[in-house]
Structure 1
Amino acid sequence: MGVSSAAGKSVTPDTVLQLATAWSCIRLLSETIGTLPLLTYRRNGEAKSVAPDLPLYGLLHDSPNADQTAAEFLEAIVACLCLWGNFYGEKQFFGSRLVAVDQLKPDLMRVRRNKQGRRVYCYSGPDGYREMDEERVFHVRGFGVGGIVGLSPISYARQTMGTALAADETAAETFRNGLQISGFIKEAAGTKSTSAQRKELLELFNGFMGSLNAGKVMPLPHGFDFAGISMNPEDAQLLQTRRFHVEEICRWFRVPPFMIGHTEKSTSWGTGLEQQMIGFLTFSLRPYLTRIEQAIKKQLIGPSERSTIFAEFNLEGLLRADSQGRAALLSALGQNGFLTRNEGRALDNRAPMPGGDMLTVQSNLLPLDQLGRQDPASNQVRSAMLSLLFGGSLEEVIDQRLKSMMGHNGGPALDEE
C-alpha cells in the first residue's frame, strides 16, 4: 500500500518508518503496550479472579502462536493499527478449541461483505488467494467512522509524512553537495567561452563539490569569476521545517514530543513525571488497550462465556521499573484492606507467608472482621495497669478527684460536707 503526496514522495509503511519521529512514536506505543501483562479473568458475582486454567490465558499471556511471544504479538497489533489502521489474525482451532492466532499482513488483506451482511476476508498470501469467514479472523480495527475496516493513519497523514520525507531528502542532498546549492560563472567583459571551456569548468566544479572537499581552494581559468548563491539550511528554513514535523507527526500519533526526545518546548501535561505518565496512559495508551480488550471479548470468547470471562491489561506493569512507586502502591493497598499480604507478595512473584491471607487496615492493622471489637485479654491487661498506677479503675480515680475539688453550687468541697 502506498499513496502519493503533494511533495512528490510516495508514502508507504516502509518509508514512514524511515522517519525518526514516526519510528519513535510507533515504537513507543507498541513496546509500552507489549510490556503490559494481558490476563484472562473469571467473574464470579461482583468479584473477579485471574483464571490461568483457561486455554485463552496461555494464548494471551504466554504465546498466541508458534512464532511469536505475547509481547511480540501485542507489539504487532499496535504497530499495524498505527500504520494500516487494522490488525488481522487467523484463528486456528483443534476441534472447537482455539489453539492459536496467526498474524496476517494487513497490506495483503481485502475485506468485503457478502449478501448475508457477514464480513469476508480476502487474503492474497504467499500460498495463494483464499477467502475466510469472519469467524476465522481476529480483526482489531483502529479509529474509524463505522466502516468494515479502520482508517489508515498514514494514508490520511500522507501530506505531513510526504513533506517530512521530502525535507529529510533535501537535507541529505544539501549535505551531500557541500551545502552549496548553485552559483554563476561570470566571464570577463569582452570574452566569450566555448562549449569545450564550459564543459571543462563543470568538470572542475564537480571535483570540488561534496562535504569531503569542504574548505579547499578552487582555481579558476583566466577571464572567469565565480559568484555563488548562498542558501544555507537556516536561510531555507530547512531546520525549522524538520523541527516542526516532529511535533506534527507526534500530533498524528497522539504522543507527547518529550517522550521521544523532543524537549525544546515544555510540556503542558503537568509538572511532575507522574502527571505526565498519567496523561500518556489516559490519552495515548488507553484507546489502544480498550480496542484490544473489546476485540478479544467479542471475537475470541464465545457468546455463552462473555458474561463471566474477559481479558484485561494489568496497568500495574508500568510500575515494574519504579521500585519506590510500586512499594508505595502495595503498601497503601495492603494497609487499607484492598489486598492481603499474600496477594501483594504474589504480585512480586514471592511465596505466600503464614497468616498473610487476612485483610488488614491501618488502624493497628486489625482484620476487617475485628474492627470495633476489643480483645478480653487486652482489657484485663489494661485494668491491671490502671490498678497498679492509680489504685483502681480510671473512672473511679476521676470521680474521686472531682469530689475533692468541686462542691454543690459553689459550696464547700464534697468531701468536706
Structure 2
Amino acid sequence: MAVFSSGGQLAGLTFPSLSTPWQADGTVIVPDPGIPLVEAASDAPGVWRSQPSVRKVVDFIARNIASVPLHVFERRGDTDRRRVTDHPLAVLLAEPGPRVTPFRFWHGVLVDFLLHDRWCAQLLPNADTNSGYELRRIPASRMRLLDDGWGQVAAVHIVDPDGQAAEHDPAGFVFDHGWGGANGVPPTETLADILAESAEAVRYRRGVWKNGARVPLVIQRPAEAPDWSDASRNRFVEMWRRFTRGGGMEGGTPLLEDGMTVEKVDAFTPKDTQDIEGRRLTDAEVASAYHIAPELVGAREGTYSNIEAYRQMLYRDALGPFITQLEQTCNALLTPQLDRAGQLYVEANIEAKLRGSFEEQARILQAAVGAPWLTRNEARGRTNLSAVEGGDELITPLNVTEGGLASPLDTAPDESTRES
C-alpha cells in the first residue's frame, strides 16, 4: 500500500501541500481540486503527450476497437437468436449520451484502460435521450476502485471537477481493471525505464541539432605561439560561434591562426547513437507490452500475403482479447441493469471488420447460393440510385437452375468439344 505525504514531487509533477488526507478501507487518498493525486501518480496525460511510441500503440488499439459496432441479441435457444435494435440497451449502445458518438465514448474508455489499467462509466437516467439513459464516462484520473480486501470492488471513489470526493455504490457503474489490485497496474509504470531512456535520447538529439550538429573536436594552439591578448581571444571565440546554429555562417569553413590544428575527439556522434534504431526499438517494446505485433504499428517490417490475412490476424489474434474483455464487461455489469429477464446479451460485430470488399462478397455469396442474390433495386440502392418499378423481383438467368451451374457467370461446356 502506498501512502502519500503532503506536498512533494512525483512522476515529474509537483503537487501542492495538502493537510487533510482521506482514508477508506486501508487506502490513503489525498484529494486535490486541481489535479487528483491518482493522476499525478501515473502521469498518464504526460505520457500521452510526450511519448510518441505509447500514443501510437494505444491509439492504434483504441481506434480499431472503438470502430467495431456493439450489437444486442436476444437468446431464444442454443441455436437460435434474434438481433434487437429497439430495446433501451441497444439504443443506449448506439447513443451513449447526448452529443456523444459510440466511437468517441469507447475510444475514451479504451484509452483510460490502456493508460491507467482501469476504466469506469456510470449509468444515469436521462429523459433527453431515446433510451432514457446515458453512459457517463468517468475519467480514470478522477476515479479509484476501492478493494474489499478479497479482490472485489466495494466502492467507486470519484473526485468531481469541484474537488469534492465521494464514494458510490458500484451497482450503478460499469467498470473493469487489470491485475494487481482493484485499480490494476498501469503498463506505463512497467515501461517507465524504457520511456525515460527514449526521452533522454530525444533530449540529446534535440541538443545536438540545436547546437548545429557539430562534430566533437578540439582546437589545439601550439605552445610557441605568441601570447594571446584578451581582445584577440574574444575575437576568435566570437568568430567560431558564427559557425554554430544561428551564427550566420553554418556549414562554412572557419579560418585558424597561429599554427592552430583541429583534432577530432573520440566521442559519441548522432550516427553512433543509432537514433532511428532506438526509436524503432522503443516502438517494438511498447507494442509488445500491449501484446500487439510490432509490424502492425510500423515498428518492424512485415509482409502479409493479402488483406484478408491481415484482417484475420488483427481482429482475432491481436485485438480479439481486448474485444472479448469489453463484451464480457458489458454483459456482466451493464446488461443486467437494463434487462431484468436475462435474455439479452452484447456482442461485437467483428464480422463487419473481417468482411471483404463488395466484389469478394458478391463472388463468394453467388457461388454459395448458386444464383443471383441481389434484386435490381437493391443494387441501385448501393449506388444511390432511386428504385424502379418491378425492380424488387429477383431475376434468375435461364442458364441457372437448381442442380445446374453454380453461377450465372459460368458457361456450359461446348457439346462439340466434349470427348465422347
Q: Which has the higher mean CA deviation after the structures are superposed, 203-212 or 172-181?
A: 203-212
Could you list the per-position Cα deviations for residues 157-199 of structure 1 after superposition, in whole angstroms to 9, with x for gaps in the alignment? Answer: 1122222222222222222222226432322213565777665
Distance 1:262 1:242, change over 3 A: closer
User: Which residue, out of 335, 347, 361, partners 1:301?
Assistant: 335
**What residue in structure 1 maps to residue 155 of structure 2?**
120
1:323 is aligned to 2:358: yes
1:64-97 CA deviation, whole Å, 9 max, x = no partner? 11242001112112222221111121221359x8
List per-residue Cα deviations over 1:327-353 (Å, max 9, x = no partner): 345546x6299xx979xx79x8999x9
The yes-or-no answer on 1:82 pairing with 2:82 is no
Conservation of the 8 A alpha-carbon contact between 2:143 and 2:156: yes
CA–CA distance in 1 between the matches of 2:291 and 2:139?
Answer: 24
After the TM superposition, which residues 185-200 of structure 1 pair with which residues of structure 2 at under 5 Å, given as runs? 185-191=219-225
User: Residue 409 of structure 1 corresponds to which residue in structure 2?
Assistant: none
SS at match of 2:71: strand
Matches within 5 A, 1:2-401: 3=11, 12-46=44-78, 47-61=80-94, 63-93=95-125, 99-113=133-147, 118-127=153-162, 128-141=164-177, 143-145=178-180, 147-180=181-214, 182-191=216-225, 201-210=236-245, 213-220=249-256, 222=258, 224-229=260-265, 231-262=268-299, 265-267=301-303, 271-302=305-336, 305=340, 307-319=342-354, 322-328=357-363, 330-331=365-366, 335=369, 364=402
Aligned residue in 2 for 1:370? none
Whichever of the two has the greater Rg, that structure is 1
Counterpart CA distance in 1 for 2:403 and 2:60 is 41
Query: Is the alpha carbon distance of 1:231 and 1:113 closer, same or farther for their aligned partners in structure 2, counting shifts above 3 Å?
Result: closer
Are the aligned partners of 1:110 and 1:121 in contact in 2 as well (CA < 8 Å)? yes
Q: Deviations over 1:361-412 (max 9, x none)?
A: x99289xxxxxxxxxxxxxxxxxxxxxxxxxxxxxxxxxxxxxxxxxxxxxx
In 1, Cα distance between the equivalents of 2:197 and 2:306? 34
Q: Which amino acid aligns with 1:155?
A: E
Q: Would the aligned equivalents of 2:315 and 2:354 in 1 still touch at CA under 8 Å?
A: no
Q: Is the 8 A contact 1:164 1:242 kept in 2?
A: yes
> Secondary structure, in 3 states, of the residue corresponding to 2:223?
coil
- Cα 1:85–1:50, aligned 2, differ >3 Å: closer, same or farther? same
Letter of the 1:324 counterpart? E
- Structure 1 unaligned segments of length 5 or more: list them: 5-9, 357-361, 367-417
Structure with the largest fraction of helix: 1
CA–CA distance in structure 2, aligned partners of residues 219 and 32 of structure 1: 58
Contact 1:187 1:225 in 2 (8 A): yes
Amino acid at match of 2:70: L
* TM superposition score normalised by structure 2: 0.69
SS of corresponding position for 1:101: strand
Alpha-carbon distance between aligned partners in 2 of 1:30 and 1:336, rounded to the nearest angstrom: 40
**What fraction of aligned residue pairs are identical, expressed as a percent?**
18
Q: Structure 1 counterpart of 2:167, which letter?
A: E
C-alpha deviations, 1:275-310, integer Å up to 9, x for none? 232222222211111111111111112277474111
2:90 partner letter: Y
Question: Number of residues paired by the alignment?
Answer: 343
In 1: Cα distance, 2:96 partner to 2:111 partner: 17
Is contact 2:221-2:258 (8 Å) kept?
no
Q: Distance in 1 between matches of 2:383 and 2:159?
A: 45
How far apart in 2 are the matches of 1:341 and 1:44? 29
Q: Contact between 1:41 and 1:310, CA under 8 Å: does it hold in 2?
A: yes
Q: Distance in 2 between matches of 1:157 and 1:68?
A: 32
**Conserved in 1, the CA contact under 8 Å of 2:120 and 2:175?**
yes
Aligned-partner Cα distance in 2 for 1:237–1:287: 35
Contact 2:144 2:183 in 1 (8 A): no
| Code of the aligned partner of 1:364 | E
Is the alpha carbon distance of 1:324 and 1:119 closer, same or farther for their aligned partners in structure 2, counting shifts above 3 Å? farther
Distance 1:59 1:317 in 2: 20
Displacement after TM superposition at 1:33 (Å): 1.3
